[in-house]
Amino acid sequence: MELKFLASDRVEAFVSYIMQKKTVYAPQRAGKHSVALKKVADPGAVVLDYARTMQSVKKFFLPPRDELLQFNLADQSFAPAEVKPLDAVLLGIHSYDRAAIDRLDYNFSQGHAERNYLTRREGVVWVGVSFEPDEFHFSGSVGIRPHDTEGFDVFLTRARDGYLVEVLTNAGRELTAGFDLPATDQAKPQPGHFHQHIFLPQAKLNEVMGASYNNPVWEETAEKCVGCGSCNIVCPTCYCFNVEENVDIKVSGGTRERIWDGCMLREFTEVAGGEVFRGGLAERQRHRVMRKFKYLSDKTGHPWCVGCGRCTAYCTAGISIVSIVNRCISDYEKHAATAV
């Protein structure tokens, strides 16, 4: 792959250039400490060197509130929600967030292929950027490295005084065509080191997690957990939703909408008659973690956790998914050792 060079002082010009071709969404400052993915108005506001956004790119394809249909109460008619392709450049995306979209694509394509999500997914040009693992990232443990270019059309790797640019697809070539990116003989730098690790590869984890159903770690985690569901809301691969009706103030019509929901919330499994199928926080934690590391990976061969570290970084109770999984691994190994 031929490497080109984008000097730090030309990033703004590069963003301006691609903005002429397509709408651009990119990480930008949101308040003092956070960075969020937003539509770019000012190319100078784009931040390519960041740890993580609180919300991933998921929000563009599966918005927190998403209209399904509009109804008219007078004549009981309805119209499907108008859903348009995003048709934009997603710039400055990390490899784990791109990998998360592969998982959502799977969910919304398997079985019944869903128009709402799949329509929005159209027309996206992905421009990735490498990241420096911080104290929460552990995507290396699920096979996703900071420099992975999988799924991107263009990839920027942080280097001395700028970025090494790989143009990977035709869409990437179209996007960058006409902008002067000189060739460089700089080699791609070694990716940064992770500070968090799961101690076993996924291939082994299925077996470990399968044996961890009754591990005390679920109860111990539940003692700290407040059941707020933040971990679900910030997770780039969580896709569960609830459906609500929204009636307008004149009570003449309204919308049916889906809203992000979370399996950590008690009502998630409540049915008429008062039965709650996962009534305890321990059961809900187990479900959340098993979903990421067992249920869906048994089915697909891919872990449903991409190692972004969000659920841990934003947990008000300081619960770490890496510690939970590692505890399951060490108990499993201890058990195996004593069984011999």
Partner 1 sequence: MKLNELVPQQDPVDLYLPVMSEIRDVRPLTDLETLYTVALPDGRDLGHQPGQFVEVSLFGVGEAPFSISSSPTRKGVFELGIRKVGLLTEKLAELKPGDKVGIRGPFGHGIPVEKFRGKDVLIVAGGIGLVPMRSMINYVLDRRDEFGRLIICYGSRSDKELLFTDEMESWRRDPGVDFHVTVDRGSPEWEGNTGVITTLIPGLELDLGKTVCCVCGPPVMYRFVLLALKSRGLPDKSIYMSLERRMKCGVGKCGHCQINHSYVCQDGPVYHYPDLKSLEEAL
Ligand X SMILES: Cc1cc2nc3c(=O)[nH]c(=O)nc-3n(C[C@H](O)[C@H](O)[C@H](O)COP(=O)(O)OP(=O)(O)OC[C@H]3O[C@@H](n4cnc5c(N)ncnc54)[C@H](O)[C@@H]3O)c2cc1C
Q: Report the residue from 220, 270, 283, 331 that binds ligand X according to the rule CB under 6 A.
A: 270
Nearest residue to 17 via CA among 49, 35, 40: 40
8 A C-beta contact, residue 58 and residue 104: yes
Closest distance between partner 1 and the C-beta of residue 9, in Å? 38
Among 92, 162, 229, 254, binds partner 1 (CB under 8 A): 254
Phi/psi at 317 (5° precision):
-100, 0
The Cβ-side half-sphere exposure at 250, using a 13 Å CA radius, reads: 5
Whichever of 181 and 321 has its CB closer to partner 1, that residue is 321
Q: Is the dihedral of CA 281, 285, 290, 295 positive or negative?
A: positive
* Residue 272 makes contact with ligand X by CB under 6 A: yes
Query: Whole-angstrom Cα distance, residue 154 to residue 160?
Result: 19
- Based on the shown chain and the rule CB under 8 A, indicate whether residue 102 belongs to the binding site for partner 1: yes
Nearer to ligand X, 51 or 68 (CB): 68
Site membership for partner 1, residue 241 (CB under 8 A): yes
Q: Tell which residue, 153, 194, 164, has the closest CA to residue 308.
A: 194
Out of 1, 13, 73, 336, name the contact with partner 1 by CB under 8 A: 73
Applying CB under 8 A, does 78 fall inside the site for partner 1?
A: yes
Supply the DSSP symbol for 46.
B
Binding of residue 87 to partner 1 (CB under 8 A): no
Six-digit token string for 258: 């889906």
Helices 281-290 and 217-224 cross at an angle (nearest 10°) of 110
**Residue closer to partner 1, measured from CB, 43 or 123:** 123
| Binding segment toward partner 1, per CB under 8 A, in 68-76, 189-197, 220-228, 320-328 | 68-76
Which of these ranges, 14-22, 93-101, 196-204, 270-278, lies near ligand X under the rule CB under 6 A? 270-278
Q: How many CB atoms lie within 10 A of CB 160?
A: 9
Taking residues 278 to 317 in sequence order and writing x for each that binds partner 1 by CB under 8 A, - otherwise, the string is x----x---x--xx--xxx-xxxxx---------------
Phi-psi category of 235—alpha, beta or left, where left has phi over 0 and alpha has psi -120 to 50?
A: beta
Nearest-angstrom CA–CA distance, 108 and 258: 14
Q: Please give the residue ranges that form the binding site for ligand X (CB under 6 A).
A: 270-272, 274
Q: Please give the residue ranges that form the binding site for partner 1 (CB under 8 A).
A: 68-69, 71-73, 76-78, 80, 102-103, 105-116, 118-119, 213, 239-245, 247, 251, 253-254, 256, 258, 261, 263, 268-273, 275, 277-278, 283, 287, 290-291, 294-296, 298-302
